Structure 1
Amino acid sequence: MNLTQQLHETAAKMAGKPAYYFMDQETTYGELDGAVTKFADGLHKLGISKGDNVALLLGNSPHFIIGMYGALRAGATVIPVNPIYTPDEIGFILNNGDVKAVVALDLLVPLLEKMNPALPNVEHLIICETQEDHGGIDISKLSIFPKMKSFTDLVATGDLSFAGPIVDDEDTAVILYTSGTTGKPKGAMLTHKNLYSNAKDVSDYLKITGDDRVITALPMFHVFCLTVVLNAPLMNGGTLLIVPKFSPKEVFRLVEKYEATVFAGVPTMYNFLYQYPDGNPEDLKSLRLSISGGAALPVALLKDFEKKFNVRVSEGYGLSEASPVTCFNPLDRPRKPGSIGTSIQNVENKVVNEIGEEVPAGEVGELIVRGPNVMKGYYKLPEETAAVLKDGWLYTGDLARMDDEGYFYIVDRKKEMIIVGGYNVYPREVEEVLFAHPDVVEAAVIGVPDPNQGEVVQCFVVKKNDELTEKALLTYCAEHLAKYKVPKSVEFLEELPKNTTGKILRRSLKTQVLQK
Structure 2
Amino acid sequence: MNLSSQLHETAKRLPQKPAYYFMDQSSTYAELDGAITKFASGLEQLGVKKGDHVGLLLGNSPYFIIGMYGALRLGATVIPINPIYTPDEIGYILNNGDVKVVVALDLLLPLAEKMHGALPSVENFIVCETPQGKEANTDLSKLTVAPKLKAFTQVLVSGDLSYKGPELDEDDVAVILYTSGTTGKPKGAMLTHKNLFSNARDVGQYLHMNEDDRVITTLPMFHVFCLTVALNAPFMTGATILIDPKFSPQEIFRLAKKFEPTVFAGVPTMYNFLYQYPEGNPEDLKSLRLCISGGASMPVSLLKAFEEKFNVLISEGYGLSEASPVTCFNPLDKPRKPGSIGQSIVNVENRVVNELGEEVPVGEVGELIVRGPNVMKGYYKLPEESAATIRDGWLYTGDLAKVDEEGYFYIVDRKKDLILVGGYNVYPREVEEVLYAHPDVVEAAVLGVPDPNLGEAVRSYVVSKNPELTAEQLHEYCSEHLAKYKVPSSIEFLEELPKNTTGKILRRALKQQVLQN
* TM-score range normalised by the length of the shorter chain: 0.7 to 0.9
Say whether the 8 Å CA contact 1:205–1:344 is kept in structure 2. yes
Q: Provide the residue aligned with 1:19 in structure 2.
A: 19
CA distance 1:257–1:350, change in 2 (3 Å): same
CA distance 1:138–1:188, change in 2 (3 Å): same
Give the residue type in structure 2 aligned to 1:336.
K
CA distance 1:287–1:483, change in 2 (3 Å): closer
Deviation at 1:48, TM superposition (A): 0.3
Deviation at 1:180, TM superposition (A): 3.9
Q: Distance in 1 between matches of 2:392 and 2:512?
A: 43
3-state SS of 1:415 partner: helix
Q: Provide the residue aligned with 1:51 in structure 2.
A: 51
3-state SS of 2:257 partner: helix
Deviation at 1:115, TM superposition (A): 1.1
- 5 Å-filtered alignment, 1:236-275, equals 236-275=237-276
Q: Distance in 2 between matches of 1:149 and 1:19?
A: 27
Deviation at 1:3, TM superposition (A): 0.3
Is residue 2:79 matched to residue 1:79?
Answer: yes
Is residue 2:362 matched to residue 1:341?
Answer: no
Q: Distance in 1 between matches of 2:216 and 2:459?
A: 30
3-state SS of 2:336 partner: coil
Say whether the 8 Å CA contact 1:54–1:102 is kept in structure 2. yes
Give the residue type in structure 1 aligned to 2:364.
E
Give the residue type in structure 2 aligned to 1:385.
S
Q: Distance in 2 between matches of 1:308 and 1:29?
A: 35
Q: Distance in 2 between matches of 1:54 and 1:307?
A: 44
Q: Provide the residue aligned with 1:60 in structure 2.
A: 60
Q: Provide the residue aligned with 1:36 in structure 2.
A: 36
Say whether the 8 Å CA contact 2:328–2:343 is kept in structure 1. yes
Deviation at 1:493, TM superposition (A): 7.9
Is residue 2:110 matched to residue 1:110?
Answer: yes
Offset from partner CA, 1:277-329 (integer Å, 9 cap, x none): 10112121100000000000011100110110001111000000000000000
- 5 Å-filtered alignment, 1:154-169, equals 154-169=155-170
Runs of 5+ in structure 1 lacking a partner?
420-424, 428-443, 453-477, 495-516
Say whether the 8 Å CA contact 1:41–1:162 is kept in structure 2. yes
Count of residue pairs the alignment pairs up = 445
Say whether the 8 Å CA contact 2:263–2:288 is kept in structure 1. yes
Deviation at 1:356, TM superposition (A): 0.7
Runs of 5+ in structure 2 lacking a partner?
419-427, 430-444, 448-455, 465-499
Deviation at 1:488, TM superposition (A): 9.2
Give the residue type in structure 2 aligned to 1:205.
Y
TM-score (norm 1): 0.83
Deviation at 1:416, TM superposition (A): 3.0
Q: Provide the residue aligned with 2:489 in structure 1.
A: none
Give the residue type in structure 1 aligned to 2:128.
C
Give the residue type in structure 1 aligned to 2:73.
R
Q: Distance in 2 between matches of 1:447 and 1:85?
A: 29
Offset from partner CA, 1:148-182 (integer Å, 9 cap, x none): 00001111221001111111000000000003454
- 5 Å-filtered alignment, 1:102-141, equals 102-131=102-131, 133=134, 135-141=136-142
Say whether the 8 Å CA contact 2:78–2:175 is kept in structure 1. yes
Say whether the 8 Å CA contact 1:107–1:134 is kept in structure 2. no
- 5 Å-filtered alignment, 1:396-475, equals 396-416=397-417, 448-451=460-463
3-state SS of 1:263 partner: strand
Q: Provide the residue aligned with 1:358 in structure 2.
A: 359
CA distance 1:263–1:487, change in 2 (3 Å): same
Q: Distance in 2 between matches of 1:447 and 1:486?
A: 14
Say whether the 8 Å CA contact 2:60–2:243 is kept in structure 1. yes
CA distance 1:72–1:134, change in 2 (3 Å): farther
Q: Distance in 2 between matches of 1:182 and 1:165?
A: 38
Q: Distance in 1 between matches of 2:399 and 2:463?
A: 23
Give the residue type in structure 1 aligned to 2:164.
A
Q: Distance in 2 between matches of 1:296 and 1:280?
A: 25
Q: Distance in 1 between matches of 2:459 and 2:286?
A: 36
Give the residue type in structure 1 aligned to 2:119.
L
- 5 Å-filtered alignment, 1:485-504, equals 490-491=513-514
Q: Provide the residue aligned with 1:313 in structure 2.
A: 314
Q: Provide the residue aligned with 1:151 in structure 2.
A: 152
Q: Distance in 1 between matches of 2:410 and 2:379?
A: 27
Deviation at 1:120, TM superposition (A): 1.1
Q: Distance in 2 between matches of 1:290 and 1:492?
A: 38
Q: Provide the residue aligned with 2:283 in structure 1.
A: 282
Q: Distance in 2 between matches of 1:328 and 1:60?
A: 25
Say whether the 8 Å CA contact 1:10–1:237 is kept in structure 2. yes
Deviation at 1:413, TM superposition (A): 2.1
TM-score (norm 2): 0.82
Q: Distance in 1 between matches of 2:459 and 2:180?
A: 16
3-state SS of 1:314 partner: strand
Say whether the 8 Å CA contact 1:15–1:30 is kept in structure 2. yes
3-state SS of 1:137 partner: coil
RMSD between superposed Cα atoms in Å: 2.5
Say whether the 8 Å CA contact 2:367–2:415 is kept in structure 1. no
Deviation at 1:255, TM superposition (A): 1.2
Q: Distance in 1 between matches of 2:295 and 2:348?
A: 19
Deviation at 1:483, TM superposition (A): 12
CA distance 1:492–1:30, change in 2 (3 Å): closer
